[in-house]
Amino acid sequence: AQSVTQLGSHVSVSEGALVLLRCNYSSSVPPYLFWYVQYPNQGLQLLLKYTSAATLVKGINGFEAEFKKSETSFHLTKPSAHMSDAAEYFCAVSATNTGNQFYFGTGTSLTVIP
Amino acid sequence: KAGVTQTPRYLIKTRGQQVTLSCSPISGHRSVSWYQQTPGQGLQFLFEYFSETQRNKGNFPGRFSGRQFSNSRSEMNVSTLELGDSALYLCASSLEIAYNEQFFGPGTRLTVL
């Protein structure tokens, strides 16, 4: 079975500061991992995905995430927060034995303080 | 390519009624998944359809059903609506392989009064 835990339902950072959003996964098979962002009243947009190639994955808008198997983690980072980064972020896991069923974390709301 | 489209965007119903939501996937995508998003439960998987067959199903009561047509368009139906069914219903389409990303539509906001 697969599951995702996102630590911290709310994260606040100052503009220009490091963004770190935490995601830990549980999977009985090699996982595929994703980070999505959701702006108010919109659907989810993919930021980046890990599909067993490079462990450091670069995504859109300056975000990146590192897959650490030993820690079962896939934390999302961005060196310098921008006001436009304020949104809800979701980590998700999928696996070859679950078709296209994605398991999402409960989300982290990111606030950027000017 | 056009993105995933969902209709209607907003819907208000009363308890006991039924509702049908529609989703048109990205051209070429044969997998369509449905999710329910609420503040309390987050994103919960409802079901996935692939080539007109339900391939996966989440833990929802039988009042929630869906289908997929030969052109990959999908509908979901909720019968005997309850107040707790108020949510944002998101549809996502993807290619058939698990590691491919899911592309989400803007959602249908259902309010049950």
DSSP letters along B40-98, please?
TTEEEEEEEEETTEEEEE-S--TTEEEEE-TTS-EEEEE-S--GGG-EEEEEEEE-SST
Q: Name which of A49, A101, A106 is nearest B45 (Cβ-Cβ).
A: A101
Q: Name which of A32, A105, A107 is nearest B98 (Cβ-Cβ).
A: A32
- Would you say A3 and A100 are in contact if contact means Cβ atoms under 8 Å apart? no
pLDDT at B63: 97
Question: Any CB–CB contact under 8 A between A105 and chain B?
Answer: yes
Q: Residue B22 is encoded by which pair of tokens?
A: 């529609």
Averaged confidence pLDDT in chain B: 92
pLDDT at A98: 60
| Smallest Cα distance from A100 to chain B, Å | 5
| Smallest Cα distance from A56 to chain B, Å | 16
Cα A54 from Cα B5, distance rounded (Å): 33
Question: Any CB–CB contact under 8 A between A114 and chain B?
Answer: no
Q: How confident is the model at residue A87 (pLDDT cuts 50, 70, 90)?
A: very high
The yes-or-no verdict on residue A24 having pLDDT over 70 is yes
| Smallest Cα distance from B15 to chain A, Å | 24
Question: Any CB–CB contact under 8 A between A42 and chain B?
Answer: yes
Question: Any CB–CB contact under 8 A between B51 and chain A?
Answer: no
- Would you say A37 and A47 are in contact if contact means Cβ atoms under 8 Å apart? yes
Question: Any CB–CB contact under 8 A between B4 and chain A?
Answer: yes
Q: Do B45 and A100 touch (CB under 8 A)?
A: no
pLDDT at A3: 87
Q: Do B33 and A101 touch (CB under 8 A)?
A: yes
The yes-or-no verdict on residue A96 having pLDDT over 80 is no
Q: Name which of B35, B42, B48 is nearest A99 (Cβ-Cβ).
A: B48
Cα B22 from Cα B4, distance rounded (Å): 11
What average pLDDT does range B100-107 have in this prediction? 89
